[in-house]
Amino acid sequence: MIGWTFLILFWLASLQVLHRKAPRIKFISRVDLPAKRGEIFDRNGKPLAINVPGLMVYQIADSDSVNPKDVLDSLELKVLPKLPEGKLAYLIGYGLPYSAKSDLNLVKGLKIEDFWSRKLIDPAYRSLVGIVGMEGHGLSGVEYALDSLILAGKHGYRYAYRTADGRLMFGVDLPQNPPVDGGDIWLTIDADIQAFCYEQLKMWVESHDALHGMVIVADPNTGELLAVVNYPDNGDYAVTDPYEPGSTFKIVAHSYAYEHKIIHPEDSIDTGEGFIDFKKHRIRDVHPLGKITWRDALVHSSNVATSKLALRLGAHALVDQALKFGFLAPTGVILSGESYSPPRDSIAGWDSVTVAGFSIGQGLLVNGIQMVMAYSAIANGGYLLMPKLIRAYEKDGKIVKTPSRIVVRKVLNRSTDSLLTEILVEVVDSGTGRLARIPNVKVAGKTGTAQKFDKKTGRYSWTRVTGSFIGFFPADEPKYIVYVVIDEPHKGSSYGGYIAAPLFRKIALWLLTRETFRM
């Protein structure tokens, strides 16, 4: 009996010890498995936005750990402000380098999770590619526009037993759903062109003390966007910020008149003393031109001549032609937030000053992509194309290529298109765009100088001006179209031919030199 008693006591003691050592299962927890975000590359496979391994660090509330800020500071890591009291754990850092994991694991009271951090390779891509929030979703640019469609993927999950001491025990008997990683994207953007344009635009905006600027480079034959650059780069002005275009919009009235044989380039028009009055409003030329041909009216960008032409054409004809060129409607570019100016209501009720102002780019808003696609239609033989930003993307593990180009509509017949190109070459050779000239290269282009409307005075301001230049080259067989817009320069001239044409020339020369060395 004594022996049996000791045996039973030993057995009970053994069970108690084993019971203490064995992890007690407290409940079942769901563990989220984040999907890896698709990466973004340029047309040649150069990375623009990639994933790098990182850490998310939480401090467990009411823990007796040392101050984690001291640890993070010693590792030169950023610390987020503390969230309100009452949280079981609060985030103190995200996107922290993976190399700090071993040091952080030594700190009591911290919860550390692996995290894929997004890295933008160059600030030149920031406004176009966009940024990703700490929850792994795109907040702007391409990252936002294609977040759910391609880039984000689908998060998975896995259930696990959570022990009393907080450890997780995974078992094959519990449900699980593996994550599906997002697909990669190849843009039509050329990283080298984007970087060069960004550096040049940055210097130009800063040296002229301008509000901001943008440069767009495209292939006029395919609609592919090769560079979309904004500076400062805290917004995508080329898409989201519409503006009055000024004289670059004059192609609408002149193309309609030539297309319908209302005018001939060698016919004359009297611009008088360089102004035309409409009750309380006056439209003037920079310099009085007197009696000129319709050809010279566009070469020297006469506001008076274009206004008189607009009054002959009427509001409906102007709006119809603008719509043909892709103005007054969205372009279809995949970037979100595209702003545009739809046709005004009651077009039949437009007065003379509204019709005249519309023809010279006043009283309507455009965006940069619209202007590039409109002039591309002149460069490529008369076809309006849809702007193309995605060259290929990954879906179900396969690379899907997008169509080489998408034609929206035929805008001009061949003869009108050729005539306009011929006149736009003269704009650069002997007109307002002379500072865009390139030796031995035919450049076709147009200047634009748009006064901004001042709501306080009810008039257009000469101190707040947007200067622009758009051109394509070589004019006979265009490979590139480049659009430069400088908003509110405060140093130097604000006229498009002086503030924007020289920057166009620098970019065009670089592109031509690059082509020569690549042959």
Strand partners, 117: 52
Tell me the average pLDDT across 493-515: 96
Give the chain's domains with CATH numbers: 26-46+121-187 (3.90.1310.10), 51-118 (3.30.70), 191-518 (3.40.710.10)
- Pairing type for strands 398-401 and 390-395 reads antiparallel
32-53 pLDDT tens trace: 777 889 999 999 999 999 998 8
Q: Determine the residue type at 423.
A: I
425-464 pLDDT tens trace: 999 999 999 999 999 999 999 999 998 888 777 788 878 9
What pTM, to 2 d.p., does this model score? 0.87
Strand partners, 185: 40, 393
Burial class (CB in 10 A: 0-12, 13-18, 19+), 159: middle
Tell me the average pLDDT across 97-108: 76
- In 170-209, which residue ranges form alpha helices assigned H by DSSP? 191-207
Q: Token digits for 501?
A: 């044409």
d(CA 463, CA 72): 50
Out of 8-22, 58-72, 166-180, 487-501, which region has the weakest mean confidence (pLDDT)? Answer: 8-22
Burial class (CB in 10 A: 0-12, 13-18, 19+), 287: exposed
366-419 pLDDT tens trace: 999 999 999 999 999 999 999 999 999 999 889 999 999 999 999 999 999 999
Q: Token digits for 168?
A: 């997780």
Q: Token digits for 367?
A: 């965006």
Top mean pLDDT of 85-89, 103-107, 365-369 is at: 365-369
Predicted confidence band at 3 (pLDDT cuts at 50, 70, 90)? confident
d(CA 513, CA 509): 6
Quick one: angle between helices 368-379 and 414-430, nearest 10?
Answer: 110
- Pairing type for strands 168-170 and 156-163 reads antiparallel
142-193 pLDDT tens trace: 999 999 999 998 888 878 776 665 566 666 677 888 888 999 999 999 999 9
d(CA 428, CA 438): 9
Strand partners, 243: 366
Predicted confidence band at 25 (pLDDT cuts at 50, 70, 90)? low
The answer to whether the beta carbons of residues 130 and 142 sit under 8 Å apart is yes
Peptide bond into 474 cis (omega under 30): yes
Residue with tokens 């767009």: 216
495-504 pLDDT tens trace: 999 999 999 9
How many CB atoms lie under 10 A from the CB of residue 32? 11
